[in-house]
Structure 1
Amino acid sequence: MSAQARARIAARGAQELRDGTYVNLGIGIPTSVPRYLSPSTRVILHSENGILGVGPFPAVEDEDPDTVNAGKEPVTLVAGASIFDSALSFAMVRGGHLDLALLGGMQVSAGGDLANWMIAGKLIKGMGGAMDIACGAKRVVVLMEHLAKDGSPKLVQACSLPLTGRGVVNRVITDLAVLDITGSGFVLREVAPGVTVDEVRQATAAPISIAADITEMAV
């Protein structure tokens, strides 16, 4: 996926944040969201490795190897930020104190199931904290490309990859569209500039309904 497409997803993901909310940013595209936030937006960003008050990425000359997000990327801290251990971080997650989680994804099903931690047959170090976050946040929005590297759809009727959580996803934002998960499956809310509804249908391996007020993605 091109850098432009990733930027579009992150910029649209930034529009999901509301003043006064506590938000977790998952590894991958979500970590780029802070650079697209309006200066007037007042949110508190959480990183699962133990930061509350994450700021944008620093300039290279200002990077501090001891101040990193869950993806081991250097970050800045906003005024009043806190740093703490993983036990306290996950107590916050499991206690239901996160208003929103923006997570990456490998597959999302029409029922809102999420697979984002393992590709079968690949060697991995572990699942990380995605399972806790997906189940503990009040709302989960997945930011990911619409198609996998091999061209296969990542929005599917049922996930074929190991699940992170069942029925946890509320919305998916991709390089092609914004879709909500409802009791009847995927509902198409927005299409990216230059993308047609038919193109979204063809790139989705599950039926989709079209919202009556469908709009173009504003990024």
Structure 2
Amino acid sequence: MGMGDGIRQTLAKRAAEEISDGMLVNLGIGIPSLVPDYLPKGHNVMFHAENGIVGISHSPPYEEADEHLCNAGGYPITVKSGASYCDSAVAFGMIRRGLVDVTILGALQVSEAGDLANWIVPGKRVPGMGGAMELAAKANKVIVLMNHTDKNGQSKLLKTCTLPLTAKRCVHMVITDLGVFSVRETGLILTDLYEPYTVEEVRKRTEASFDVAEQLRILQK
């Protein structure tokens, strides 16, 4: 089952809480691209794209799109005051130097150790891994936004990923339509739970083991 607009926005809103002024942030395509909509007006966050832009702003209406301005996924964008352009190699250099504070991306699978699989399903054609491998390995905080289960109802939070890995032990936080998990040295901890779900329901739908935070936060969708 696909994710409805309401859930997509709920996840993007929760992810926005992890961003503070002055950060350099890289957003994946899909749900992560909605995150800027939930930052305060006048925020001082600079959004980075691998194709060589620092300072992405909102997505423009179709009729106002500039064909020369797009993000790494090829979607039209606008830029904010103070934005800059650079060679793609420089944009990747920023990632590899560890200058990106947060990256928010989607995933096919995440393991309880924080391993990430998000770039290929064997046998399917894909455009390539993009910047996912660099971002996963080098961003200071890696946040995954994804459905808790796949279209067959199988858990995407696993003891061990079964798809080819993007990077090992790189994920810090996973935000799904059921709750929010923090990845610690000791494993996963459920820190936030969306109403009306219960911890028992989350356990039933999760292959990975997880502990529950003492102060479990209940979130409304």
TM-score, with length taken from structure 1: 0.96
Question: Alignment partner for residue 17 of structure 1, among 16, 19, 24?
Answer: 19
Instruction: Supply the distance in 2 between the matched residues of 1:139 and 1:55 (Cα, whole angstroms).
Output: 21
Note if 1:37 corresponds to 2:39: yes
CA contact (8 A) 1:23 1:44 kept: yes
State the match for 1:113 in structure 2.
115
Instruction: Supply the distance in 2 between the matched residues of 1:96 and 1:35 (Cα, whole angstroms).
Output: 25
Unpaired runs of 5+ residues, structure 2, are none
Q: Structure 1 residue 36: deviation in Å? A: 1.6
Q: Structure 1 residue 68: deviation in Å? A: 1.0
Please give the per-residue CA displacement for 1:134-185, whole angstroms capped at 9, x wherever unaligned.
1111111111111112211110000001100000000001111000011221
State the match for 2:218 in structure 1.
216
Instruction: Supply the distance in 2 between the matched residues of 1:40 and 1:52 (Cα, whole angstroms).
Output: 17
State the match for 2:62 in structure 1.
60
Matches within 5 A, 1:58-207: 58-207=60-209
Please give the per-residue CA displacement for 1:182-209, whole angstroms capped at 9, x wherever unaligned.
1221100001121211121112111110
Further displaced range: 33-42 or 154-163: 33-42
Distance 1:120 1:179, change over 3 A: same
Further displaced range: 116-125 or 86-95: 116-125
Q: Structure 1 residue 115: deviation in Å? A: 0.4
2:26 aligns to what SS in structure 1?
Answer: strand
Instruction: Supply the distance in 2 between the matched residues of 1:9 and 1:195 (Cα, whole angstroms).
Output: 15
Distance 1:145 1:192, change over 3 A: same
Note if 1:3 corresponds to 2:5: yes
Residue identity (%):
45
Alignment-mate amino acid for residue 63 of structure 1: A
Unpaired runs of 5+ residues, structure 1, are none
Aligned CA-pair RMSD: 1.2
Q: Structure 1 residue 129: deviation in Å? A: 1.1
Alignment-mate amino acid for residue 87 of structure 1: A
Alignment-mate amino acid for residue 118 of structure 1: I
1:35 aligns to what SS in structure 2?
Answer: helix
Instruction: Supply the distance in 1 between the matched residues of 2:30 and 2:37 (Cα, whole angstroms).
Output: 14
TM-score, with length taken from structure 2: 0.95
Alignment-mate amino acid for residue 70 of structure 2: V
Q: Structure 1 residue 15: deviation in Å? A: 1.1
Instruction: Supply the distance in 2 between the matched residues of 1:49 and 1:198 (Cα, whole angstroms).
Output: 43
Q: Structure 1 residue 61: deviation in Å? A: 2.1
